[in-house]
Amino acid sequence: MKFSRLAEQTEASPILAVAAAINARKQQGETIYNLTVGDFDPAIFPIPQALTEAIIRAYRARHTNYPAAAGLPQLREGAASMVNRMCGLDYQADEVIVASGCRPLVYAVYRSLVDAGDTVIYPVPSWNNENYTAMVGARAVAVETTAANHFMPTAEALAPHLKDATLVALCAPQNPTGTLFSKQNLVAICEQVIAENRRRGRQQKPLYVLFDQVYWALTFGTATFHHPAAVCPQIREVAICVDGISKAFAATGVRVGWATGPRAVLQKMSSIIGHIGAWAPKPEQIAAGAFLADRPAVGRHLAQFREQLQARLNEFHAGFMALKGNGYAVDAIAPQAAIYLSVRIAIQNRDRNRTRGAGANQLDGEHAVQEYLLNEAKIGILPFSLFGAKNHHDWFRLSVGTCSQEEIPDVMANLQAALEKLS
Ligand X SMILES: Cc1ncc(COP(=O)(O)O)c(C=O)c1O
Side-by-side strand order, sheet with 340-345: 330-332, 340-345, 395-399, 382-383
- Smallest gap from Cβ 324 to ligand X, in A, equals 27
With vertex at residue 337, the alpha carbon angle to CA 336 and CA 339, rounded to the nearest 5 degrees, is: 125
Query: How many CB atoms neighbour CB 12 within 10 A?
Result: 8
Residue 125 preceded by cis peptide, ω within 30: yes
Among 18, 19, 34, 38, binds ligand X (CB under 6 A): 38
Q: Kindly indicate which of the ranges 1-9, 140-148, 190-198, 244-252 contains the residues binding ligand X, using the contact rule CB under 6 A.
A: 244-252
Question: Helices in 326-398 by DSSP H: which ranges?
Answer: 366-372
- Position 152 contacts ligand X (CB under 6 A): no
Question: Given the complex with ligand X, which of 100 and 355 has the nearer CB atom?
Answer: 100
- Position 228 contacts ligand X (CB under 6 A): no
Among 244, 380, 383, 401, binds ligand X (CB under 6 A): 244
- Position 177 contacts ligand X (CB under 6 A): no
CA dist., res. 181 & res. 152, Å (int): 6
Backbone phi, psi, residue 392, to 5°: -125, 65
- Contact 36/19 with Cβ under 8 angstroms? yes
Query: How many CB atoms neighbour CB 11 within 10 A?
Result: 9
Among 34, 246, 336, 414, binds ligand X (CB under 6 A): 246
Pattern 77-106, ligand X, x by CB under 6 A = ------------------------xxx---
- Contact 196/159 with Cβ under 8 angstroms? no
Question: Given the complex with ligand X, which of 242 and 363 has the nearer CB atom?
Answer: 242
Question: Given the complex with ligand X, which of 138 and 259 has the nearer CB atom?
Answer: 259
- Position 284 contacts ligand X (CB under 6 A): no
- Contact 106/210 with Cβ under 8 angstroms? yes
- Smallest gap from Cβ 123 to ligand X, in A, equals 12
- Contact 260/82 with Cβ under 8 angstroms? no
- Smallest gap from Cβ 340 to ligand X, in A, equals 9
Position closest to ligand X via CB: 101
Among 95, 212, 284, 294, binds ligand X (CB under 6 A): 212
- Contact 112/265 with Cβ under 8 angstroms? yes
Q: How far is CA 294 from the centre of its chain?
A: 25
- Position 175 contacts ligand X (CB under 6 A): yes
CA dist., res. 79 & res. 73, Å (int): 10
- Smallest gap from Cβ 57 to ligand X, in A, equals 23
- Position 171 contacts ligand X (CB under 6 A): yes
Pattern 108-147, ligand X, x by CB under 6 A = -------------------x--------------------
Stated as kind and residue range, the H or E segment containing 250 is none
- Smallest gap from Cβ 102 to ligand X, in A, equals 4
Q: Is 357 left (phi over 0), alpha (psi -120 to 50) or beta?
A: left
Among 119, 166, 252, 402, binds ligand X (CB under 6 A): 252
Which residues contribute to the site for ligand X (CB under 6 A)? 38, 101-103, 127, 171, 175, 212, 214, 244, 246, 252, 257
